[in-house]
């Protein structure tokens, strides 16, 4: 058996409401703490939702009023992940790694590794993305294509990343995404000029995740 694959279990929850997914994440964290499951990479695609992160003042970046939110079918939920307000919805690949950092205990390095996974994923499709100084996430010039917001409990991670594959970009107009005032939001489909299915992206993310988080740290026996 491939020892790398044995150390990472990939789960696909399909379409979920954000509160349900958060409850399931917390249950997965408890399982990981107890050692009853290996490290997990969980995929989901949320029903339309704005999530308000733990950063002070995040709620002020919600633009649309209740009537417009109801018209667009978008829920709003507060969450304990890091970062500002963001949007999740159909066409966006959300990844929730539930992995142990007990041996590393370096949250900054973990965030950089998540960014590297996304950089490699975007590069796989022939696009050049990069980090921006002082900002978390992945960008194509001044257009944000992936957001990251994490939390840690006893050095077990949850929350994670959201890669814009082919979401309804108009829904980002209801917020100041991640508090950004000097850029815009984009997607793989928009940059490539063609529709993309999430199922074509997931294997690329899994391969990059295994490479960054496992293969690069495995010592030869």
196 DSSP assignment? -
Q: Give yes or no for a contact between 176 and 85, defined as CB atoms under 8 angstroms apart.
A: yes
CA separation for the pair 33, 142 (Å, rounded): 39
Question: What tokens does 28 get?
Answer: 């997965």
Q: Which residue has tokens 């009537």?
A: 67
Q: Give yes or no for a contact between 9 and 40, defined as CB atoms under 8 angstroms apart.
A: yes
First to last CA, the chain: 15
With residue 188 as reference, give the H or E element that holds it.
helix 188-192
The yes-or-no answer on residue 106 being catalytic is no
CA separation for the pair 60, 71 (Å, rounded): 20
List phi, psi (to 5°) of 114.
-60, -40
Catalytic residue chosen out of the listed positions 99, 178, 198, 204: 178
Active site residues: 178
């Amino acid at each position: 058996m491939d020892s790398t694959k044995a150390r990472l279990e990939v789960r696909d929850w399909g379409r979920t409401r954000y509160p349900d997914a958060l409850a399931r994440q917390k249950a997965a964290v408890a399982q990981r703490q107890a050692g009853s499951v290996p490290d997990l990479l969980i995929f989901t695609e949320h029903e339309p939702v704005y999530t308000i992160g733990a950063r002070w003042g995040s709620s002020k970046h919600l633009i649309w009023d209740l009537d417009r939110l109801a018209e667009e079918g978008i829920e709003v939920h507060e969450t304990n992940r890091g970062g500002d307000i963001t949007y999740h919805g159909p066409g966006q690949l959300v990844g929730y790694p539930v992995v142990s950092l007990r041996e590393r205990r370096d949250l900054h390095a973990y965030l950089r590794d998540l960014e590297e996974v996304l950089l490699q994923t975007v590069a796989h499709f022939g696009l050049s993305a990069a980090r921006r100084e002082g900002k978390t996430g992945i960008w194509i010039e001044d257009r944000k294509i992936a957001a990251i917001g994490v939390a840690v409990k006893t050095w077990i991670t949850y929350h994670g990343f959201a890669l814009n594959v082919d979401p309804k970009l108009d829904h980002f107009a209801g917020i100041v995404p991640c508090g950004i005032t000097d850029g815009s939001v984009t997607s793989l489909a928009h940059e490539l000029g063609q529709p993309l299915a999430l199922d074509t992206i997931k294997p690329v993310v899994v391969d990059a995740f295994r490479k960054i988080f496992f293969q690069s740290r495995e010592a030869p026996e």
